Amino acid sequence: MGRSREVKILGIESSCDDTSAAVICDRVLLSNVIANQKVHEKYGGVIPELASRVHQQNIIPVVDTALKEANITKSDLDAIAFTKGPGLLGSLLVGVSFAKGLAASIGVPLIEVNHLQGHVLSHFLEEDGKTKIFPSLPFLCLLVSGGHTQIIVVKDYLDFEIIGETIDDAAGEAFDKCAKVMGLPYPGGPVIDALAKEGNPTAFSFAKPKVADFNYSFSGLKTSFLYFLQKKIAENPAFVEENKIDLCASIQQTIIDILMDKLIKAVAKTGIKDVAIAGGVSANSGLAGRLHQTSAQLGWNVFVPERKFTTDNAAMIAITAYFKYQKALFSSLDVTPFAS
């Protein structure tokens, strides 16, 4: 049987504060353009109304650049994919509306993508000239982002079973909130990661939550970190400044301990040894390091995404749409986004 025709898909991601567009040809990435919104930094978090306004300014140039970098035009596209949710409603609406308009005008199918599924399936992206080993099905994925923390059994590309998740804050939120109380800029995760490299991870210890099964909890850690700092600052106003790198290393170590404890239990219970991480927090060098160390001890095959595929990007939306395209899972033009 002859090889079927190549499929070119444009993916659009606008769930939070990054506007992104990507083009893939089958599973090969041709372009992945991301416009970050710097406007939120001074507020210490994403302001939804500002985010949707900036998406509106960015979306046309970002899509345009993605098509140019992929060396194609609109008429070469076979489908348009967009993030349906979860995310900020006003932000999602910009991507959804744009995708609908474009799909209707060029007469190609529209494909809705779940943002979380996108993070996980980013592991199946291919790049020209790069050899890559892919997780084999079924595999376990620890999805750690600013809004979610889940342990997923990926049974097939589009068949996921969530076996554990956070009952309150996400791991990324724990990083960001702890950074904020230390006066570090937003988003705090990458800042803590960088400072932690210089610090002592056992300088301070924080209580770890006791949660059933493969579930997580991070809200207690943030609160105990805040109370600990308030007490120390009362004794010495320069405490944070004098201990910043050790505080970062210690809080990062605690978050990694919490994440790894349940992941190790999930591998033991399921017997699945292909283990991936995905989402913004999977960019954390300490987490990746610990995963590799654990894999050497326990014989896992681990998969850490390249940094450019860890945080929000449209390449992950396009690859997920590729798998949906194979099954003709298309959306109608009256599809609406969902926030959570």
* Least separation in angstroms between CB 88 and ligand KG4: 10
* Least separation in angstroms between CB 172 and ligand KG4: 3
Any idea what the Cα angle at residue 215 is, between residues 158 and 222, rounded to 5°? 120
* Least separation in angstroms between CB 21 and ligand KG4: 16
193 binds ligand KG4 (CB under 6 A): yes
Any idea what the Cα angle at residue 254 is, between residues 214 and 293, rounded to 5°? 80
* Least separation in angstroms between CB 172 and Zn ion: 9
Tokens 């230390």 belong to 182
Q: Using CB distances below 5 to 8 A depending on partner kind, what does residue 284 bind out of ligand KG4, Zn ion, none?
A: ligand KG4
Q: Using CB distances below 5 to 8 A depending on partner kind, what does residue 149 bind out of ligand KG4, Zn ion, none?
A: none
- Please give the full DSSP string across 203-226, using - where no structure is assigned: SS--PPP--STT-B--HHHHHHHH
Amino acid, res. 104? A
Q: Using CB distances below 5 to 8 A depending on partner kind, what does residue 135 bind out of Zn ion, ligand KG4, none?
A: none
Q: Using CB distances below 5 to 8 A depending on partner kind, what does residue 112 bind out of ligand KG4, Zn ion, none?
A: none
164 binds ligand KG4 (CB under 6 A): no
135 binds ligand KG4 (CB under 6 A): no
Q: Which of 181, 266, 276, 281 binds ligand KG4 (CB under 6 A)?
A: 281
Handedness of CA 82, 87, 92, 93 (dihedral sign): positive
Any idea what the Cα angle at residue 312 is, between residues 307 and 313, rounded to 5°? 85
Q: Which of 11, 90, 147, 337 binds ligand KG4 (CB under 6 A)?
A: 147
Q: How far apart are CA 41 and CA 18, in angstroms?
A: 13
Which SS3 state, helix, strand or coil, does residue 138 take? Answer: coil
* Least separation in angstroms between CB 96 and Zn ion: 16
Pairing between β-strand 139-144 and β-strand 274-278 as defined by DSSP bridges: parallel
Which residues lie near Zn ion (CB under 5 A)?
145, 312
* Least separation in angstroms between CB 98 and ligand KG4: 20
Residues 6+ apart with CB under 8 A from 5: none
Which SS3 state, helix, strand or coil, does residue 158 take? Answer: coil
Q: Using CB distances below 5 to 8 A depending on partner kind, what does residue 118 bind out of ligand KG4, Zn ion, none?
A: none
305 binds ligand KG4 (CB under 6 A): no
Q: Are 66 and 314 within 8 A, CB to CB?
A: yes
Which residues here bind ligand KG4, judged by CB under 6 A? 16, 145-147, 172, 175-176, 187-190, 193, 279-281, 283-284, 311-312
